[in-house]
Amino acid sequence: MGRHATWQDICRPARWSSVTKLASCQSPVFAFLVQDKMPSNMRKALMTTISPVKEQSTTKVTVVGSGQVGMAVAFSLLVKQICTELALVDVDEKRLAGETMDLQHGATFVKAKITCSTNYEVTRNSKLCIVTAGVRQQEGETRINLVQRNVSVFKQIIPQLAAYSPDSVLLIVSNPVDVLTYVAWKLSNFPQHRVIGSGTTLDSSRFRVFISERLNVHPSSVHGWIIGEHGDTSVPVWSGVNVSGVRLRDLDPNIGSYEDPDCFGSIHKQVVESAYHLIQMKGYTSWAVALSVSAIAGAILKNTMEVMPVTTYIKVHLWEKLVSNRVRTRNCVVCTRPCSSEGNDNSRGSDMPACCLQGCRHGVDKEVFLSLPCVLGENGVQYIVKQPLNEEEKRALHRSAETLHDLQVQIKI
Using DSSP, state whether 401 is helix, strand or coil.
helix
The phi and psi torsions of 201 (rounded to 5 degrees) equal -60, -45
Catalytic residue among 4, 193, 223, 230: 230
- Side-chain half-sphere exposure of 181, counting CA atoms within 13 A: 33
Domain locations along the chain: 60-197, 200-315+363-410
pTM over 0.75: yes
Integer Cα distance of 333 and 257 in angstroms: 36
Q: Using H for helix, E for strand and C for coil, what is the string for 152-187?
A: HHHHHHHHHHHHHCCCCEEEECCCCHHHHHHHHHHH
Among 205, 112, 186, residue whose Cα is nearest residue 147: 186
Torsion angle of C-alpha atoms 17, 21, 24, 30, degrees rounded to 10: -30
Per-residue pLDDT in tens (0 to 9) along the chain, 413 residues: 444 444 344 444 433 333 333 334 445 555 555 555 556 787 778 776 666 766 655 799 999 999 999 999 999 999 999 999 999 999 999 999 999 999 999 999 998 999 999 999 999 999 999 999 998 877 777 778 889 999 999 999 999 999 999 999 999 999 999 999 999 999 999 999 999 999 999 999 999 999 999 999 999 999 999 999 998 999 999 999 999 999 999 999 999 988 888 899 899 999 999 988 998 999 889 999 999 999 999 999 999 999 999 999 987 543 334 444 444 445 544 444 555 444 444 333 344 444 444 444 567 778 899 999 999 999 999 999 889 999 999 999 999 999 999 999 999 88
Count other C-beta atoms under 10 Å from residue 85's C-beta: 19
pLDDT at 357: 45
What is the C-alpha radius of gyration for the chain, rounded to an integer number of angstroms? 24
pLDDT at 109: 95
Whether residue 181 contacts residue 196, with contact meaning beta carbons closer than 8 Å, is answered with yes
Using DSSP, state whether 145 is helix, strand or coil.
helix
Among 87, 82, 83, 81, residue whose Cα is nearest residue 64: 87
Does this chain's domain 60-197 share its CATH topology with 200-315+363-410?
A: no
CATH architecture of 60-197: 3-Layer(aba) Sandwich (3.40)
Q: Which CA distances in Å does 235 have to 29, 228, 259, 268?
A: 46, 6, 18, 8
Longest dimension (CA), the chain: 80
Among 100, 54, 56, 95, residue whose Cα is nearest residue 78: 100
Whether residue 355 contacts residue 206, with contact meaning beta carbons closer than 8 Å, is answered with no
pLDDT at 58: 75
Integer Cα distance of 72 and 382 in angstroms: 27
- Give all strands of the β-sheet with 60-64 in edge-to-edge order: 113-117, 85-89, 60-64, 128-131, 169-172, 195-197, 306-313, 369-377, 380-384
Known catalytic residue at 230: yes
Q: Alpha helices of 80-218 — where are they, by DSSP H? A: 93-104, 143-164, 177-188, 201-215
Q: Alpha helices of 13-142 — where are they, by DSSP H? A: 41-46, 68-79, 93-104
Distance separating the N- and C-terminal Cα atoms of the chain: 44
pLDDT at 55: 62
What's the topology of domain 200-315+363-410? Answer: L-2-Hydroxyisocaproate Dehydrogenase; Chain A, domain 2 (3.90.110)
Whether residue 215 contacts residue 243, with contact meaning beta carbons closer than 8 Å, is answered with yes
